[in-house]
Amino acid sequence: MIGASDQDKRSIKARQEALRAMQWTAPSSEFKDGGMTAYDDMRGEDAHPVAELREVCHSPVLTFLYFMPKSLWVAITEQTNRYAVQQVDRRAEEQHAKQREGRRETVQQIRRRLKSKKGYDTYEILHEVGLLVARMLCPQQRRFAAHWSMVEDGAVPVGNFGRYMSRNRCTNILRDLHFVDNEAPRTHDKLWKLRPVVNSLQQRFLAGWLKMLNS
């Protein structure tokens, strides 16, 4: 079995002892003398938050929306709704194939039913993210749907998740959540499905800090 041999155990112990023996040391003379290549945009300057950020820093919600502005959430909602529409035909075929004997909907009927569903609103996407953060802070070993249970489970309160969103609506958003057009041409960018969020965060973090020369 991988990792179960005595040699592996000896190696692990040796690495642990080596890590314990490591200590912080003074920078090398090469670093102090400026011999190393500097990172882009690295300067000998202090950075301070801009006035706009200082005005909202005492509100967690406003600070969150400063770095992830409403325009980003509107764009995420648009792409999530786009993906839901793109999947209608495939889901209609799958649901039609899974129907039991008896009264059966046609593919066209299922397609119309799926298309008639209300699109997602921006506030619902924000609620979704909030519920995921709440799950992270208050996890439980049962499946995600158990957060809507009406039976108290230890310290997990009853009905909190249901106050903000129904279970089915929440799982539907999780299924459809997208940040880019899923049918857009692929690129070599490994983060292409997250690129709009990554770019927005980078821009907002850069815009939120003002470089000031050291006195």
List % helix, strand, coil for the chain (3-state, nearest 5): 55, 5, 40
Structure-model confidence comparison of residues 130 and 154, the more confident one: 130
Mean pLDDT of 14-31: 64
| pLDDT above 60 for 64 | yes
Mean pLDDT of 127-143: 86
* Structural domain spans, the chain: 70-185
Is residue 102 within 8 Å of residue 154, measured between CB atoms?
Answer: no
Reading the block at residue 43, the tokens are 């300067």
| pLDDT above 90 for 104 | no
Distance CA 13, CA 205 (A): 41
What CA–CA distances, in Å, run from 185 to 161, 178, 180, 188, 192? 37, 15, 11, 10, 10
Mean pLDDT of 140-147: 81
Pick the range with the lowest mean pLDDT from 7-11, 27-31, 133-137: 27-31
Give strand pairing partners of 148.
none
Check residue 92 and give its pLDDT. 92
Distance CA 79, CA 195 (A): 13
Distance CA 145, CA 170 (A): 9
Distance CA 160, CA 11 (A): 48
- Torsion-angle region of 34 (φ positive above 0: left; ψ -120 to 50: alpha; else: beta): left
Query: What percent of the chain is predicted at pLDDT more than 90?
Result: 46
| pLDDT above 50 for 215 | no
Is residue 95 within 8 Å of residue 133, measured between CB atoms?
Answer: no
Check residue 209 and give its pLDDT. 85
Structure-model confidence comparison of residues 160 and 157, the more confident one: 160
Is residue 23 within 8 Å of residue 180, measured between CB atoms?
Answer: no
Distance CA 65, CA 125 (A): 13
Contacts 24+ apart (CB under 8 A), 137-143: none
